[in-house]
Amino acid sequence: MLSMIKIPRAPLTAVILFISAGLNSFSWAATPEEQEWEVLNLFYKPHELVVSATHYPKPLSRVAENISIVTAEEIKAMNAHSVAEVLSRVPGVFMGGYDRNFGSTANILIQGSGKYHTLVLLDGIPWNYLVEGNAATINIPVGIIERIEIIKGPASSSWGSSLGGVVNILTKTFSGDNDPSNHAYATYGENQTSDIRADFVNKLGKVDIFAYAGRMDSNGLLDKKSFENNSFYSKIRIPMSDVLTCGISAGYSEPDLFYGNFYDYDFSSSADLKSYFTTAYMDARLRDNLNVNLSAYSFQNRYAQKDKTLTGDYWGLSPDAVIQAFSLRDNKWGAKGKVVGEYGNHTALLGGDLAYGKLKDNTCFAPEFGGGYSIKTDVNTWAVYFNDTIAMNQWAITPGIRYDSNSTSKDFVSPSLGITFQPNHRVIFRAMVSRGFSSPPLVYSSSYVVDLIPNPDLKPETINSYQLGMEAGISLKSRLKISLFHHDVENMFFKEYVDSEEKYRYINAVSDTRQGFECELQASLSSHILVDFGGTYIHQSSETQEDRNLSSINFAIAFQHPEIINARFMGQYMQWGQDHGDPSNTGSYDNVICDVHISKPISVFRLAETELFITGHNIFNGALYDDVYNKNPERWIEGGLHITF
């Protein structure tokens, strides 16, 4: 199954040396499985140790993929307002075009990958646009998130088109194991920036219910980049019997953005997005060791953008004239099914996906520029996949394979093999070799852009990936995680100019190598002080560009005394690898962005927990951005109230 993967000598040698060094550093004393989380539980709660790398929950000690988990509690501790803000603090994740404005958009780039290489899921719904393959997460309110699981590196043997990785967003629900808790949150900051939300989590008879409503609003923290969004979400879980459970969910979001004034090109840009999504599922436990899950989803997106002149001099038009306006409908429907069986030391899964996508674009230009056009296109995909986790004492071996069929691109087979080894309860070793892909965005194969010639013969970009990791409790109060990776990407999309460079198309013509490491350290300095550090280094070499080195550092120092005060100081540094002497490089990389969040419990309501908080963003006025048009705001302050009842 893995014969199609060629293993390079250098990474293989690194794997052998890495494992040898690690095994010489730790005791080989075997321990019972129930003790394996003794050290990790210092930083993770038990429910956070359940992940979905193989489409079913399994202990972290048996997961070979490089995974980071961000929980609702951690999002609260950051006082984050967007998914982009949360992901920007994850080692190995770079947010392209992220300007840190309230409600800003960004592309998710994992370990040097492109914007269409990362698959984003919300409760199993593929969130990526059909048109360009990227995912806009600004229409996902953080108030509905229970946790985010980030798989770094290709996950195609489980999820299909995901050359760079997967961001799996799991929403809140009510399991019945804890008392119901409802939340009300309100914050207000500079430039009339506000975030107001409330959620209801309860049990009505046998029915579990989660409901959410929120509104975000800002006049713009920089360059009048205003933003507002109303969002709603609900989820219902219905136990039909002891062995059968059904559920439905629905959500709506309507972000309205002003991208800003672009004075060099004499225009302003604004957009509004409307998203509506629904899911339904059925989960049946046929036997103690056999489970069947069926689900379906609908995801409807409408995106409208309008670009208008400022003075009109640059375009030869009058002031406030429309340069272009377009309306894009990006809609998807799908169904999924999987069967999970446990027998002996095996946990095997057989699954399938079926999806249909429809894209419609209407674009209008100013009469001086040619009028406009209308394009319609669609895509059909289906896939089958299989994986098996084989647990053998301290070892766990997970082979996997998936076949993907795409009506606009070539079919693809994605094999993988993961191995974990746990010599004792304080250390886990991981190794992963896999082959993955990313399908061409529809804009490349079924063009709707005036100057872009479609290429229906475009093949998927492919990747051979080799990863090695170690996670250890280096003392009773600290945890260290190290991950090494080497990715060879082939058949990359390359812009080829034709017709005297008046038009262009994309072809498969470039290869790329990305290799590096991630390091995470969490330590408890005392009963009230925690330190969190994450660092990433990536060396990227390409046939068409000069080599570049990407790096990032994230750190946090938290003081936790729930009865008195909680405080969290956070910092971030990022280097995108551009040549600082190149005049075309307009980014800023020589500063650290630091935030501080302070909260204090107060007694106001007898039956509710009330917390006052204040957050300072970019408190030292740092400048950290990848392009002059993505400048981040200077220091701004917000404060608010969080009630749990």
- Integer angstrom CA distances of residue 477 from 470, 525, 529: 17, 8, 11
Q: Would you place residue 499 in the very low, low, confident or very high pLDDT band (cuts 50, 70, 90)?
A: confident
Please name the amino acid found at residue 444.
Answer: Y
Q: What angle do CA 371, 504, 135 make, to 5 degrees?
A: 80
* Mean pLDDT along residues 298-326: 93
User: What's the burial of 589, exposed, middle or buried (CB within 10 Å: 0-12/13-18/19+)?
Assistant: middle
The pLDDT, as a whole number, for residue 537 is 96
The pLDDT, as a whole number, for residue 36 is 39
Determine how β-strand 165-171 pairs with β-strand 118-122.
parallel
Buried b / exposed e over 618-638, threshold 16 CB at 10 Å, is: bbeebebbbeeebbbbeebeb
**Is 528 a residue whose pLDDT tops 70?**
yes
Is-contact 405 398, C-beta < 8 A? no
- HEC per residue, 303-364: EEEEEEECCCCCCCCCCCCEEEEEEEEEEEEEEEEEEEEEECCEEEEEEEEEEEEEEEEEEE
**Is 599 a residue whose pLDDT tops 90?**
yes
Answer whether 0.95 is exceeded by the pTM. no
Distance CA 35, CA 203 (A): 33
Distance CA 66, CA 151 (A): 6
Buried b / exposed e over 88-113, threshold 16 CB at 10 Å, is: bbbbbbbbbbbbbbbbbbbbbbbbbb
**Is 429 a residue whose pLDDT tops 80?**
yes
Percent of the chain with pLDDT over 90: 62
- Arithmetic mean of pLDDT over the chain: 87
The pLDDT, as a whole number, for residue 446 is 79
Determine how β-strand 346-365 pairs with β-strand 529-542.
unpaired
Percent of the chain with pLDDT over 70: 89
* Mean pLDDT along residues 266-291: 94
Q: What is the pLDDT of residues 27-59, one digit of tens each?
A: 433 333 344 344 445 454 433 455 677 888 888
Is-contact 95 462, C-beta < 8 A? no
Is-contact 137 381, C-beta < 8 A? no
Which residues on adjacent β-strands are paired with residue 326?
Answer: 305, 363
- Integer angstrom CA distances of residue 634 from 99, 223, 512, 622: 11, 11, 36, 7
- Residues near 110 by Cβ (< 8 Å), separated by ≥ 6? 92, 93, 94, 117, 118, 150, 152, 153, 164, 165
What tokens does 640 get?
């608010």
Determine how β-strand 145-152 pairs with β-strand 66-71.
antiparallel
The pLDDT, as a whole number, for residue 274 is 96
**Is 175 a residue whose pLDDT tops 80?**
no
